[in-house]
Amino acid sequence: MAVNDFFAGNSDIATAPARRCFVITPHATDELAILPKAIRAPSDGVITLRAIDSEDDVAHPVLAGECIDVRAQYVREAGTTVIGTIIGYA
């Protein structure tokens, strides 16, 4: 049975609910393959990231389960201390 998507006729904007969820693996140099609307922390710690229009990385302290509303271009391996799977929402 096909899913009935009541929002199919609406445009996908940054503040709309995510239509895709994916695993983010921190990396030293690689950009994320999908630009997220938000990322979710698996545990307390730090996620080091760079937003799409930023020139610098930021070490963002997070609590377990916290969502960061950010269009992250990079999630860096160095400086990221959370343990578990980081989830991206796009």
**Sequential pLDDT tens for the chain (90 residues):** 777 877 777 788 888 889 999 999 999 999 999 999 999 999 999 999 999 999 999 999 999 999 999 999 999 999 999 999 999 999
Domain-wise residue ranges, the chain: 21-89
Identify the bridge partners of residue 72 per DSSP, sorted by sequence position.
Answer: 51
pTM: 0.87
Q: Are strands 67-68 and 38-40 parallel, antiparallel or unpaired?
A: antiparallel
Measured distance CA(41)–CA(24) in Å, rounded:
10
